Amino acid sequence: MGNSTGAEWQLCGTYGNGVGRLQAYFISRISGCMHGRIPQATYLQSKVPILVSPGQPAKHDYEYRRCGVCNIFLACEPLAGKRMVKISERKTKQDWAFFLKDIAGQYKTAKKITLVMDNLNTHTPGSLYETFPPDQAKALWDRFEFVYTPKHGSWLNMAEIELNVLNGQCLNRRIDAIEVVRRESLAWQEFRNNKGPKVNWQFTTEDARIKLTRLYSTNVE
């Protein structure tokens, strides 16, 4: 994701379609950073695949042996066209806390990072305090402003789009080891960051207030 020196971004994900704007030569805030995660199963071929040959596609037997499951954390800055991926064996409070630390490390000069994520029970201050010393946990928590998507509304998080792209371009095949998942995902991250694709988010605040009217309080004049 890198240090986007000189840029300040409005929140552009969950409830609106904010527009990036270039600011002065310092950075005070990074907004519109999205976080999501999915489980990824690992599989081992039960029979040796037949490689591609002239006039013949590669062939894989339908049988496989399940090797386990790993977890994929992904954060993206949709207006900057940047994303970061981390593979872990589990999705515990400690795993999430260390991923949050990684995000903060990417924006060392930002005073506040706005992070959009879902309501998973590990996404709480307690996860940081169970992982780091109290002063470090408090300092890390203060770096962030958290915006939670509505329950059953994870599709409002643009990180879900990036996770689908990661699966379609990289992981939608049989992979037998977490080390391979990690290596392939990091290669995809570097490739996609170099291309810099951004998200054209078209679900505006006005659309949200109509489609999600039950989630908004009504002001009575």
Strand partners, 66: 43
Q: Quick one: pLDDT at residue 18?
A: 28
Q: How far is 20 from 12, CA to CA, in rounded Å?
A: 8
- Helix, strand, coil percent content, the chain, rounded in steps of 5: 35, 25, 40
Q: Quick one: pLDDT at residue 19?
A: 27
- Other CB atoms within a 10 A radius of the CB of residue 32 amount to 26
Q: Which two tokens stand for residue 13?
A: 């994900």
Element (H, E) at 139: helix 134-142
Q: Is 7 left (phi over 0), alpha (psi -120 to 50) or beta?
A: beta
Note the pLDDT tens digit of each residue in 98-131. 999 999 999 988 888 988 888 888 899 999 999 9
Q: Quick one: pLDDT at residue 28?
A: 33
Q: Quick one: pLDDT at residue 120?
A: 86
Contact predicate 33/113, CB 8 Å = yes
Q: How far is 115 from 90, CA to CA, in rounded Å?
A: 21
Domain boundaries, the chain: 7-215
Pairing, β 7-8 against β 112-117: unpaired
Class of domain 7-215: alpha beta
Q: How far is 86 from 75, CA to CA, in rounded Å?
A: 9
Q: Which residue ranges in the chain fall short of pLDDT 50? A: 1-32, 43, 220-221
Contact predicate 132/100, CB 8 Å = no
Please state the φ and ψ torsions of residue 199, each to the nearest 5 degrees: -105, 125
Assign 96 to helix, strand or coil: helix
